[in-house]
C-alpha cells in the first residue's frame, strides 16, 4: 500500500521532541493524524502547551493535539534535566492560538488505531517520551495492536550506559513498567537507544550550517538546539548535544540511513542500581524471540542533511 504513512507522535516536548515535531510537520510523506503528549521533560500542562506552540510555529494547526498521562503508572514522576524550566530551553515561542482537544490521548490513540485497522494499514506510532499513554492504551484495548503497524521509539540504552542513571535512559526510567508492557505487547518495535542517538550529535559546525541555510524557522530551531547543547565531548567524542528524538522521524522517512539488529528487549523492574535498564538479548541466549529491531548505526551526515533541509523548507 502506498501514499502518505499514517503516523501518530507521542511526545514530551522537550527541545529534541520539538525538533522531531518540526521534521514531521515538514514531511509530506507523513499523514500525521495526531500529536499526543505525556509528562516527561516537563509536566503535562507544559509539554502540551509546547506541542501546541511548535505546531503553530510549523503552521500545521490542523493537526490535533491530545494531552495524556501526568505521570508514570507506578512511582513518582521523574522530570527531565535538559530542556529548561519551560521545556523549550530559553526559546520563547508565542502562545498558541489553538490548544489541545478535550479528549484524552489514550482514548484518541485507541480510536485512531482502530480506524487504521479498518483501513487495512496500521499506524506508525512514534514515541518520543515515557511510554505511559501507549501502555495504558494497549492494556485498556489489546485489540488495537492490529491497528499499529509498528512502534518506533526513542528509548533505552545498551552499551553506552544510561543518561539518568548509570544503566537507564530517561524515557524508560521515567516509566519502566509502561516500557515493559509495550515490549511485551507483540507490536513490531523499532528502537532508537542512546547507542544510536548519541551518533546524532548537533556539533557547532552542523548548527552553523543550519543557520546558514536561511528559511523561516531555522534561526529558532538553531536557538532551540544551542540551548539543548549537552556539551560532553568526553562522552560523545566531540562538542555538541545528541538530538535523540528526531532520529525516530528520520528512520520513518529514510530507514536507509540506519542499520539495526534484532533483539529480545525487556526492562529491569526489580533492580535498585539497574532499575529501568533495557536488557537486550542480541544472541538468542534466553530462547525468547526478538521483539525489537534495535537501531545501531546512523549515517549522521545523511541524517543532518535531511533534517536541516526539511527545517529550512518549513
Ligand atoms: O533520554 C532522552 C529522551 O528523554 C528524549 O526523548 C528527551 O526528550 C527525553 O524525553
Ligand atoms: Ca522526548
278 Cβ closer than 6 Å to some ligand 1 atom: no
**Which residues are tagged catalytic?**
244
CA angle 56, 59, 61 (to 5 degrees): 65
The Cα-based distances of 257 to 26, 118, 190, 269 in angstroms read 18, 31, 14, 33
To which residue does cell 536488557 refer?
279
Strands (DSSP E) along 128-277, which ranges?
148-154, 189-192, 201-202, 241-242, 258-267
Q: Write down all domains in the chain, each with its CATH number in brackets.
A: 5-313 (3.90.245.10)
53: cell is 506552540
Residue 132 CA, ligand 1 centroid: distance in Å = 14
Q: Which residues of the chain have pLDDT under 50?
A: none
Q: pLDDT at position 229, please?
A: 60
Short-list 295, 314, 105, 263, CA closest to 192:
295
Atom of ligand 1 nearest to the CA of 17: 8
- For the segment 106-126, what is each residue's pLDDT rounded down to a tens digit? 999 999 999 999 999 999 999
What is the pLDDT, as a whole number, of residue 83? 67
pTM higher than 0.75: yes
Burial 13-39 (b: 16+ CB within 10 A, else e): bbbbbbbbbbbbbbbeebebbbbbbbb
> Considering only CA atoms, which residue is closest to atom 10 of ligand 1?
129
Stated as kind and residue range, the H or E segment containing 126 is strand 123-127
- The Å distance, Cα 155 to ligand 2 centre, comes to 9
What local confidence, expressed as pLDDT, does residue 238 receive? Answer: 84
The ligand placed nearest to the CA atom of residue 241 is 1
d(CA 7, CA 116): 10
Question: Quick one: pLDDT at residue 198?
Answer: 95
> Does the Cβ of 195 fall within 6 Å of ligand 1?
no
Contacts of 301 (CB under 8 A, 6+ apart): none
41 CB near ligand 1 (under 6 Å): yes
The predicted structure's pLDDT at residue 82: 64
Is residue 80 within 6 Å of ligand 1 at its C-beta? yes
Amino acid at each position: 500500500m502506498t501514499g502518505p504513512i499514517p503516523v501518530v507522535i507521542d511526545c514530551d516536548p522537550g527541545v529534541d521532541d520539538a525538533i522531531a515535531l518540526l521534521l514531521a510537520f515538514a514531511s509530506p510523506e507523513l499523514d500525521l493524524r495526531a500529536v499526543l503528549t505525556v509528562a516527561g521533560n516537563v509536566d503535562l500542562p507544559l509539554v502540551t502547551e509546547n506541542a501546541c506552540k511548535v505546531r503553530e510555529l510549523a503552521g500545521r494547526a490542523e493537526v490535533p493535539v491530545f494531552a495524556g498521562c501526568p505521570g508514570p503508572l507506578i512511582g513518582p514522576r521523574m522530570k527531565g534535566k535538559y530542556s529548561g524550566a519551560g521545556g523549550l530551553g530559553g526559546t520563547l515561542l508565542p502562545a498558541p492560538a489553538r490548544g489541545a482537544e478535550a479528549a484524552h490521548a489514550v482514548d484518541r490513540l485507541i480510536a485512531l488505531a482502530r480506524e487504521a485497522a479498518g483501513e487495512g494499514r496500521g499506524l506508525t506510532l512514534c514515541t518520543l517520551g515515557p511510554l505511559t499513554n501507549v501502555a495504558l492504551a494497549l492494556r485498556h484495548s489489546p485489540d488495537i495492536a492490529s491497528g499499529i503497524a509498528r512502534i518506533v521509539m526513542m528509548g533505552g540504552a545498551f552499551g553506552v550506559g544510561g543518561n539518568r542513571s548509570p544503566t537507564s535512559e530517561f524515557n524508560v526510567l521515567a516509566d519502566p513498567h509502561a516500557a515493559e508492557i509495550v515490549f511485551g505487547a507483540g507490536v513490531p518495535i523499532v528502537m532508537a537507544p542512546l547507542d544510536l542517538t548519541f551518533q546524532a550529535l548537533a556539533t557547532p559546525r552542523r548548527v552553523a550550517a543550519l543557520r546558514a541555510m536561511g528559511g523561516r524557522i531555522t534561526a529558532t530551531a538553531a536557538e532551540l538546539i544551542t540551548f539543548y547543547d549537552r556539551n560532553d565531548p568526553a562522552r560523545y567524542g566531540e562538542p555538541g548535544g545528541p538530538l535523540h528524538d528526531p532520529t525516530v522521524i528520520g528512520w520513518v522517512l529514510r530507514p536507509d540511513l540506519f542499520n539495526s539488529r534484532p533483539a529480545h528487549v525487556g526492562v529491569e523492574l526489580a533492580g535498585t542500581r539497574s532499575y529501568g535498564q533495557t536488557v537486550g538479548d542480541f544472541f538468542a541466549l534466553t530462547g525468547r524471540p526478538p521483539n525489537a529491531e534495535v537501531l545501531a548505526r546512523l549515517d549522521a551526515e545523511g541524517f543532518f542533511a535531511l533534517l536541516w533541509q526539511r527545517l529550512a523548507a518549513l
